[in-house]
Homo-oligomer: A and B are copies of this chain.
Amino acid sequence: MEERQAPARSLFGVDPMDEFSVFVSDWIWERAQGQSHIEIEAKVGTLIDRHTNMRLQLPVFTETVIDARALGVRFESNMPMHQNFNQLLNELVQYSSGMYEGQRVSYKHVRETDSFYDEVLPTGENVHLRVTRDSQTQQIKPGGVVAKKRIDDLNIYCPMRMYDYRISISTETPMPRPPESSAPTFVREKDRLSYALQNFQVDLTQVTLPHRDQEPVHELEVEICQADELLRWAQYTCASGESREEWTQFEDHILVLLNNVRLLIRNADNHARECHPV
């Protein structure tokens, strides 16, 4: 009989489920189930207190999901450390290039122009259209006309870090292109570096608003590439009797989304520490 055992994870013999991942997974599931053309993404940025116009200050020491409405905060997605992230992500591409194909981080550089239109459908419904064109050829990209509708946001405060993050669920429903006679209400230029591994894509985007006297904005976001498929899978495990109170591949997928955002944010911290040692 083997007397020496691995340390028990608890008196119950198990690790508890990670409350945070389960909370985020449930939040996504409740809002996205049964919908099509779902987009799930997490943006790195700063939670801003509307009263002070400064970063939110709460008397807590560790990462937590906040009640943004109760607190009166807004999320600012500008991420000035663009170049550092560019370098870091390029290093990941380089580092993983010797690995098996499924473990290599891929890289893509695209320049796109988004034009937004407010249209009225034949049904009388108002719709907000986004038309995405290749900036060079001005051709509309495949699947480039969508009605984007924000479903909900979840705001996460990271008091130990330089940045907070926000998880958003939207639908991006393919639509016919607007009539030639329509004029866009708004145009933006995106210069985007996309890094992808398996079902996750990290976008580092410089957004410029032409004809406006404004500095470019830099955004850093992580997207689940095939969210519809993920949700169908979650639906399937639900239907086959697995309770949403169990840890499934759905929760694990959401945890990998969180892993990516958290590691990006921590690398921003590390870089800042190297530049300004304290």
User: Residues on A close to B: CB < 8 A?
Assistant: 1-5, 7-16, 19-20, 23, 58-67, 70-71, 89, 92, 96, 100-103, 105, 157, 160, 195, 197-200, 202, 252-253, 256, 259-260, 262-263, 266
7 smallest A-B Cβ distances: which pairs? A59-B67, A64-B64, A10-B259, A59-B70, A5-B102, A61-B65, A60-B64
Contact check, B9 vs A259: say whether CB atoms are below 8 A apart: yes
Query: Please, how many angstroms separate the alpha-carbon atoms of A92 and B103 in the complex?
Result: 42
CA distance A253 to B7 in the complex (A): 9
How many angstroms from the CA of A143 to the CA of B10 in the assembled complex?
28
Report which residue of A11, A16, A19, A101 has the largest number of chain B beta carbons within 10 angstroms of its beta carbon. Answer: A11
With A62-B64, A67-B60 already in contact, the answer to whether A2 and B100 are too (CB < 8 A) is yes
Instruction: Identify 16 new A-B residue pairs, CB closer than 8 A, beyond the known A5-B100, A7-B253.
Output: A1-B101, A3-B101, A3-B102, A7-B198, A7-B199, A10-B263, A11-B92, A11-B260, A12-B92, A12-B263, A20-B62, A23-B61, A23-B160, A59-B70, A60-B64, A61-B64
| Contact between chains at A197 and B8 (CB < 8 Å) | yes
Residues in chain B near residue A10, CB distance under 8 A = 197, 200, 256, 259-260, 263
A11 and B157 form a contact (CB under 8 A)? no
Residue on B with the closest CB to A160?
Answer: B19
* Contact of A20 with B63 in the complex, beta carbons under 8 Å: yes
CA distance A188 to B45 in the complex (A): 53
Question: A62 to B260, Cβ gap below 8 A?
Answer: no
What residue of chain B has the Cβ atom nearest to residue A60's Cβ?
Answer: B64
Contact B12–A60 (Cβ < 8 Å): no
Q: Assess whether A19 is in contact with B62, with CB atoms less than 8 Å apart.
A: yes
> Which residue of chain B has the shortest Cβ distance to A105 in the bound complex?
B11
Asked if residues A19 and B92 are in contact (CB atoms below 8 Å), the reply is no
How long is the Cα–Cα vector from A166 to B23 in the complex, in angstroms?
Answer: 22
Query: What distance in Å separates the Cβ of A53 from its nearest Cβ neighbour in chain B?
Result: 19
Q: A3 with B195: in contact, given A256-B8, A260-B11 (CB under 8 Å)?
A: no
The one of B5, B23, B59, B199 that contacts A62, using a Cβ cutoff of 8 Å: B23
Would you mind naming 29 contact pairs between A and B with Cβ atoms under 8 Å apart? A1-B100, A3-B100, A3-B102, A7-B199, A7-B256, A8-B102, A10-B197, A10-B260, A10-B263, A11-B89, A11-B92, A11-B195, A11-B202, A12-B259, A12-B263, A13-B103, A15-B259, A16-B259, A16-B266, A19-B63, A19-B160, A19-B262, A20-B63, A23-B62, A61-B64, A61-B65, A61-B66, A61-B67, A62-B65
